[in-house]
Amino acid sequence: MNSSGRREVEHETIVAAPASAVYGLIADVRQWPEIFPPTVHVDWVERNGQEERIRIWATANGEAKSWTSRRTLDADQRRIEFRQEVSAPPVAAMGGTWLVEPISPRESRVRLLHDYRAVDDDPASLDWIERAVDTNSRAELAALRDSAEQAIGDAPGRTLAFEDTMRIDGTAKDVYDFVNEAQFWTERLPHVSWVSLTEPVPGLQTLAMDTRTKDGSTHRTESVRVCFPNHLIVYKQTTLPALLTLHTGSWRFVDTESGVIATSRHTVAIDPTKVTDVLGPDADVAQAREFVRTALSANSRATLGHAREYAESRR
């Protein structure tokens, strides 16, 4: 740490993938929630050539946070500089650089540099930030390595995305309210047996719940949700069922002349090492994909069905 209270730190990893492919994953923020464990959602605020502003919702030391960053992208040098424009306390300032360096045509080194300051240069806050940066950097580099290596054929068929859509004779606001007000789900949804919802700041929620399966058993999941009133809720599960290594999703509500078009979307990744443990000794990834899709679609459609009843009763 220098005399101004500014700390600098560097993390790195080696990836068995071409540098250009690795750089592409870092450059395209739309993929971040599926790549980086702490990242829940990313939106572009503005884009202008190599300059862009992005808003990030992510977890840090288990707490949900949001901030806005500026990025400068240099594809030729495979270098991305970033600087938080609006930081979330206890962070006063945060920035750094992604560097992707080719080792060979099939291998690259990724370096992730950070510099940061705490509000009022508070020592306890600096230590909190240091833990968050270290934990997130290690998780992000490991996840980036795994994603880049899987993308070149390491684990075919693990990831799938699907959606369910329902037309509702109501307003988008009422359907949104039903999904947003998850604290009432034990009363409103038969497949939810327990729920805990916290919202430290408006629109940023942590949702834990127990869901009943067809055989009567329950499993607990926890998600961070980002809510955009009346039209969109995006989420990422931070506590996953045994069969999954990733589950992100969204609820989207669009008013039309003939009612609301409500869509539930899921992106999941199967853990191939858990397939036989969960589904039996003869099961494979294809069966796991079908099992997961059937179960999640059933819950989504059940939720949308009850949301339809709620919204249509309020007309």
Which DSSP string do the residues of the chain spell out, in sequence order? --TTS-EEEEEEEEESS-HHHHHHHHH-GGGHHHH-TTEEEEEEEEEETTEEEEEEEEEETTEEEEEEEEEEEETTTTEEEEEEEEPPTTEEEEEEEEEEEEEETTEEEEEEEEEEEEGGG-HHHHHHHHHHHHHHHHHHHHHHHHHHHIIIIISTT-EEEEEEEEEESS-HHHHHHHHH-GGGHHHH-TTEEEEEEEEEETTEEEEEEEEE-TTS-EEEEEEEEEEETTTEEEEEEEE--TTEEEEEEEEEEEEETTEEEEEEEEEEEE-GGGHHHHH-TT--HHHHHHHHHHHHHHHHHHHHHHHHHHHHHT-
pLDDT in tens, 178-217: 999 999 999 999 999 999 999 988 999 999 999 987 777 8
- Average pLDDT (299-308) is 97
Residue predicted with more confidence, 308 or 86: 308
Residue 3: pLDDT above 50?
Answer: no
Ramachandran angles phi, psi of 43, nearest 5°:
-125, 140
The pLDDT confidence band at residue 4, using thresholds 50, 70 and 90, is: low
Q: Tell me, which fold does domain 7-154 have in CATH?
A: Alpha-D-Glucose-1,6-Bisphosphate; Chain A, domain 4 (3.30.530)
Question: Superfamily assignment of 159-313 in CATH?
Answer: START domain (3.30.530.20)
- The structural domains of the chain, with segments of one domain joined by +, span 7-154, 159-313
Residue 276: pLDDT above 80?
Answer: yes
Question: What gap in Å lies between CA 152 and CA 93, rounded to an integer?
Answer: 37
pLDDT in tens, 154-170: 455 788 999 999 999 99
Q: Mean pLDDT, the chain, as a whole number?
A: 93
* Percent of the chain clearing pLDDT 90 (strictly above): 83
The pLDDT confidence band at residue 265, using thresholds 50, 70 and 90, is: very high
pLDDT in tens, 18-67: 999 999 999 999 999 999 988 999 999 999 989 999 999 998 878 888 98
Tell me if domain 7-154 and domain 159-313 are identical in fold. Answer: yes
Give the residue from 34, 186, 187, 12 showing the smallest Cα distance to 100: 12
- Average pLDDT (101-108) is 97
